[in-house]
Chain A
């Protein structure tokens, strides 16, 4: 069977694609900010002296990392609405993303913290630094600098995974693609265009993270390597 590509008929949908892409970006940024906060807190919790807290944080990380994101979305979204809590779809989608990326972030940050030599912490204690000071200046900042590439890599993967939220009818890029293809009957072309858009988004995000990293880690900028 012969098939002629027709990308021209998708031109009128351009604003919608753009809107979807912006929404994907918006969701990703919010999820990454909150995910980073949760991840850092969780990583600190796992190092702490309180056993139950460490166990709780560990369980959260393992559960999220060993179940599919789609199941997490259904569990949270349909579960909450059956319990009577009806969130707007955007909020629900972002909530599932935060829940998901938080666990991956926690694991990455923890790996970074493990690279801090115990002697550094002992030295900081001997100098009379307070616990928050030690966590911020001696543990957190250097370890975040070290894991920055894997952290941002994970955020880019999260941006790609956010396509799954279209399954609870979030109107992000994939959601837009679904409605466009059902209106235009040009499903092949639509998904090729959207694949291209995701690729561009991923590249832009990588570039942005690179520039951001150069800005906040001057040492990395000067030496070309962390620490």
Chain B
């Protein structure tokens, strides 16, 4: 038995929590960029691009994140590219985020009325101008609540990075628990810390959604 839970253990968990936030931010930023690309491909006029991105999304959404993580971490290691755990986890989460965000944003872009595209075409805007100046500002409003909601998903998913040895909150909790063996306490605290990160985001997402619905009701 390794003694009792002290302030040092808590500090260690909080440091892990910081890395959870860093990894989430990294994954979300990289994933947004890639996801934007996926969204562009999914709504492209070229059929081949649409098909490629469709298969990509189906495959990523049809395999567990844990397996993607193993493929990136062990796989690339075997091929000779040695990735540090932060990068391996970041890359796998980026792949995961890109598929989901791409799909969420595609839905938002497609929910902008068809007539907006036609009006922009009537004004002789190029496709890119139409997208940036007409469609995206409208789609962004619709996209905010589900994107914030997805952020919760990303935060939770970073716990899987513990499996490849990256010391974020879950890994830190495992380390502490291995020395103390008080799982209810240690994982309970880790759970509370995760909850403290995720719950405000969930609430925010829900209130954004409510506001959006109010706007729509008034417009109708």
Choose, from A44-52, A118-126, A184-192, the stretch at the interface.
Answer: A184-192
Most buried by A among B63, B67, B199, B202: B67
Give per-residue flags for B101-138: 1 if the beta carbon is below 8 A from chain A beta carbons, else 0: 00000000000000000000000000000000000000
Choose, from B30-38, B180-188, B210-218, the stretch at the interface.
Answer: B180-188
CB-defined contacts of A75 to chain B, threshold 8 Å? 183-184, 187-188, 191
Distance (whole angstroms) from the CB of B164 to the closest CB of chain A: 12
Known: A71-B187, A71-B191, A75-B187. A187 touches B75 (CB 8 A): yes
B162 within 8 Å of A (CB atoms): yes
Q: Which residue from A63, A66, A70, A192 sits with its C-beta under 8 Å from B170? A: A70
CB pair A1–B194 under 8 Å, yes or no, is no
CB pair A177–B70 under 8 Å, yes or no, is yes
Choose, from A12-20, A136-144, A162-170, A207-215, the stretch at the interface.
Answer: A162-170
CB pair A67–B66 under 8 Å, yes or no, is no
Q: Which residue from A3, A72, A191, A199 sits with its C-beta under 8 Å from B70? A: A191
Known: A3-B79, A191-B70. A167 touches B187 (CB 8 A): no
- The interface size of chain A toward B, counting residues with CB under 8 Å, comes to 38
Q: How far is the CA of A57 from the CA of B74 in the complex (A)?
A: 41
CB pair B202–A66 under 8 Å, yes or no, is yes
CB pair B194–A71 under 8 Å, yes or no, is yes
Q: For chain B residues 149-171, which have a beta carbon within 8 Å of chain A?
A: 152, 155-160, 162-163, 170
CB-defined contacts of A188 to chain B, threshold 8 Å? 71, 74-75, 78-79
Q: How far is the CA of A82 from the CA of B181 in the complex (A)?
A: 8
CB pair A66–B195 under 8 Å, yes or no, is yes
Q: How far is the CA of A191 from the CA of B77 in the complex (A)?
A: 13
CB pair A199–B190 under 8 Å, yes or no, is no
Most buried by B among A63, A68, A74, A83: A68
Q: Which residue from B79, B152, B162 sits with its C-beta under 8 Å from A66? A: B152
Known: A1-B79, A63-B195, A67-B194. A79 touches B63 (CB 8 A): no
Known: A191-B75, A195-B71, A198-B63. A65 touches B202 (CB 8 A): yes
Distance (whole angstroms) from the CB of B32 to the closest CB of chain A: 21
CB-defined contacts of B61 to chain A, threshold 8 Å? 202
Q: How far is the CA of A63 from the CA of B191 in the complex (A)?
A: 9
CB pair A71–B190 under 8 Å, yes or no, is yes
CB-defined contacts of B155 to chain A, threshold 8 Å? 68
A148 within 8 Å of B (CB atoms): no
B59 within 8 Å of A (CB atoms): yes
Q: How far is the CA of A181 from the CA of B78 in the complex (A)?
A: 12
A69 within 8 Å of B (CB atoms): yes
CB-defined contacts of B39 to chain A, threshold 8 Å? none
CB pair A68–B159 under 8 Å, yes or no, is yes
Distance (whole angstroms) from the CB of B56 to the closest CB of chain A: 12
Q: How far is the CA of A3 from the CA of B177 in the complex (A)?
A: 39
CB pair B64–A67 under 8 Å, yes or no, is no
Q: For chain B residues 48-81, which have a beta carbon within 8 Å of chain A?
A: 58-59, 61-68, 70-71, 74-75, 77-80
CB pair B75–A192 under 8 Å, yes or no, is yes
B89 within 8 Å of A (CB atoms): no
Q: Which residue from B63, B160, B173 sits with its C-beta under 8 Å from A195? A: B63
Q: How far is the CA of A166 from the CA of B70 in the complex (A)?
A: 13
CB pair B62–A199 under 8 Å, yes or no, is yes
A174 within 8 Å of B (CB atoms): yes
A160 within 8 Å of B (CB atoms): yes
CB-defined contacts of A195 to chain B, threshold 8 Å? 59, 63, 67-68, 71
Can you list 19 residue pairs at the A/B interface with Cβ under 8 Å?
A: A63-B191, A66-B195, A67-B198, A68-B157, A71-B170, A74-B183, A75-B191, A78-B177, A82-B182, A82-B184, A83-B184, A164-B64, A164-B66, A174-B64, A187-B77, A195-B63, A198-B62, A199-B58, A199-B62
Given contacts A69-B156, A187-B78, A202-B62, 18 further A-B contacts (CB under 8 A): A63-B191, A67-B191, A68-B156, A68-B157, A68-B170, A70-B159, A70-B160, A71-B170, A72-B191, A79-B184, A83-B184, A164-B160, A174-B66, A191-B70, A195-B59, A198-B67, A199-B62, A202-B61
